[in-house]
Amino acid sequence: MTQITVAALQCTLASHDEQDNIGQISALVEDAAARGAQIVLPPELFSGPYFCREEDEALFALARPTIEHPSVIAMRALARTLKIAIPTSFFERDGHHYYNTLAMIDADGDIMGTYRKSHIPDGPGYEEKYYFRPGNTGFKVWDLFGTRIGVGICWDQWYPETARAMALMGAEILFYPTAIGSEPYDADLDTSRMWRRAMIGHAVSNCMPVIAANRIGREGEQQTFYGHSFICDEWGDMLADFGREESGVLTAALDLSRAARHRAGMGFFRDRRPDLYRRLAEDV
């Protein structure tokens, strides 16, 4: 039996003091490691409030090159000390280009590589196209602790193509750091249940565990982040989950040999018909 213990973090990140937010995440990372977690997932863009709620050119100053970003620096130090891996979301500046990026930090504190968010949303309260170029890295997977993981970023999680691409690249676990909540244009629209169902669908259709980490709390005048971070197994059954207001650490031990057995038995990859899928790669 091959087991790995994973964690998802959930908390408020509304402080405009970058070090306060990073310090809060750091404390939760240490808590997760103390509980035996080997891979710890913080939420998306955790160094501050979700700045994409509005378009403000002054906010481009929050971006840094990968190795200079305070989130990356702090998580590298923690990973090295605690001997854990941390998929770290941050606002990247690469010359004149800006990306919503994830640095995959291993248990030695080294950056294994980066993934730049592929799907960029654009709508009230989530005006990311103003800040981020679409990612140019393609989907990524990484080998950690005897398994291979895939990581998508927030809006990526709504796309079954993202999950399936990472699965076809050999991923056995899928991670999604997230910043999602209320919709400013419709106070009655609560997407939290659809958000979970979409990712649970990825778990079931690829027969592998999924971990999602979201923020909570009110930011600005019209936006409240709804949490509901979770860890589910290859059947989509919940192993650990939070509600809308809880802060803390979710952990679960994943049985990857069991998931691999189920994945083979279900035949989803055996019965694929890529010869029929050409339409998926065409524009609408």
Question: Dihedral of the CA atoms 230, 236, 237, 240 (nearest 10)?
Answer: -10
Answer for the pair 26, 34: CB distance below 8 angstroms, yes or no: no
Cβ-contact 7, 39 below 8 angstroms:
yes
Catalytic residue list contains 68: no
> Which one, of 166, 173, 163, lies nearest residue 7 by Cα?
173
Q: Which of 11, 154, 207, 232 is catalytic?
A: 154
User: Catalytic: which of 11, 44, 52, 232?
Assistant: 44
Dihedral of CA atoms 194, 195, 200, 201 in degrees, nearest 10, equals 60
Q: Which of these is catalytic: 92, 117, 140, 232?
A: 117
Asked whether 88 and 72 are in contact (CB, 8 A), the reply is yes
Pairwise CA distance, residues 130 & 57, whole Å? 9
Q: Cβ-count burial of 55 within 10 angstroms (0-12 exposed, 13-18 middle, 19+ buried)? A: exposed
Q: Is 30 a catalytic residue?
A: no
- Ramachandran assignment for 111, one of left (phi > 0), alpha (psi -120 to 50 degrees), beta (any other): beta
DSSP 201-246: HHHHHHTS-EEEE--EEEETTTEEEE---EEE-TTS-EEEE--SS-
Query: Could you report how far apart the first and last alpha carbons of the chain are, in Å?
Result: 44
Residue 154 falls in the annotated catalytic set: yes
- The residues that are catalytic are 44, 117, 154
